[in-house]
Structure 1
Amino acid sequence: MRHAERFVDVLERASDILAAVGLCTMMLIISADALGRLFGAPLQGAYEFTAYYLMVIVAFLALPRSYATGGQVRLELLEPWLARLPGGLARRGVALLSLAAFGLLLWFSGDEALRRIADRETTFGVVQWPLYLSYVWMPAGIAILILRLALDVVRPDAPRRGAARPDAARPDAAGVAGR
């Protein structure tokens, strides 16, 4: 089991690094395009490359690591009561429901990606970007997230490297954080 956890952790870190590189690249391209427009020479295809590739990479490749570290927005309204259930039942249930939902999303996004790759679809315009390559990133990010969710079903309370402590950002008894 530890090998599987390490493998998923490595995949999450790699996808997170790719998402960070995509975000920095997006910043540089948009800045260069804006500067080029100021001097009458915008970057051709900057919008398409940013919208069709980099935004998808940033959104879906950051998703698995965000879930693993607890970095996503969470509603913790019922968590104190659900945490009392034995055997991590609540966390396993949430992971199982999420696994089913993301499994369905992976099925449809993977099917769409395979169809677009088979069609070799490109964008219209001066620079014809191979649009079919942009469909790969959504199923890739979701597949890594599904691996993490499957591990959460099996071992809901397994410690994770880089995960935030659940009580780190919670306010104290007075309701004021950090005092």
Structure 2
Amino acid sequence: MIGIERAVGRLERAADLLAGIALIAMMLVISADALGRLFGAPLQGAYEFTAYYLMVVVAFMALPRSYVTGGQVRLELMERWLKRAPGNLWPRLVSAMLLAAFGVLLWFATEEALRRIAERETTFGVIQWPLYLSYLWMPLGVALLSARLALDILRPREAGELPETAATGGAE
């Protein structure tokens, strides 16, 4: 079990690194486009590349690690009382509900991505970007998040507790 948690953790960190690289690339592309506009030579396809590729990578590749680190908005309205349930029932129930919701999202996102890949859809314009490639990132990010949620059902963690410390009992 610890080996699976470590593998998922490595994939989460790699996805987060990819999201960070995409964010930096987005900044550079937008800056280059803005500078180009000052001199009358905007960067062709900058909007499409940013909107259809980089933003999607940033949003969905950062999703699993954001969940793991507790970086998302959390409602802790009744958590103090619900934590009293035996067997860590409350965090398992929350993870199961999230897994069900993201499982549905994963199903439809994968179905849509496969359809777009089969159609080889592209954008209109001067540069015809292969739009179908941008549909890969959502199922990948949601699948990785779903794997983490499944692990959290089996071995609940405290909010924001990193799996690398939870799996080893705090000793790395």
1:96 shift after superposition: 0.2
1:97 shift after superposition: 0.5
Q: State whether residues 88 and 157 of structure 1, in contact with CA within 8 Å, keep that contact through their aligned partners in structure 2.
A: no
Structure-1-length-normalised TM-score: 0.88
Q: State whether residues 56 and 138 of structure 1, in contact with CA within 8 Å, keep that contact through their aligned partners in structure 2.
A: yes
Aligned residues: 163
1:81 maps to 81
Mapped pair 1:133 → 2:133: yes
Q: Distance in 1 between matches of 2:16 and 2:163?
A: 15
Q: Distance in 2 between matches of 1:132 and 1:160?
A: 33
Q: State whether residues 45 and 127 of structure 2, in contact with CA within 8 Å, keep that contact through their aligned partners in structure 1.
A: yes
Which structure shows the higher helix fraction?
Answer: 2
1:123 maps to 123
Q: Distance in 2 between matches of 1:27 and 1:81?
A: 44
1:87 shift after superposition: 1.1
2:40 maps to 40
Q: Distance in 2 between matches of 1:157 and 1:23?
A: 29
Give 5+ residue unaligned stretches, structure 2.
167-172
1:94-118 deviations in Å (ceiling 9; x for gaps): 0001001100000000000000000
1:78 shift after superposition: 1.1
1:162 shift after superposition: 7.7
Q: Which runs of structure 1 show a deviation greater than 2 angstroms over 4 or more consecutive aligned residues?
A: none
Q: Distance in 2 between matches of 1:132 and 1:43?
A: 22
1:106 maps to 106
1:7-18 paired onto structure 2 within 5 Å: 7-18=7-18
**More relative contact order in 1 or in 2 (CA 8 Å, sep 6+)?**
2
1:161 shift after superposition: 3.4
The alignment's C-alpha RMSD in Å is: 1.3
Q: State whether residues 44 and 127 of structure 1, in contact with CA within 8 Å, keep that contact through their aligned partners in structure 2.
A: yes
Q: Distance in 1 between matches of 2:68 and 2:26?
A: 24
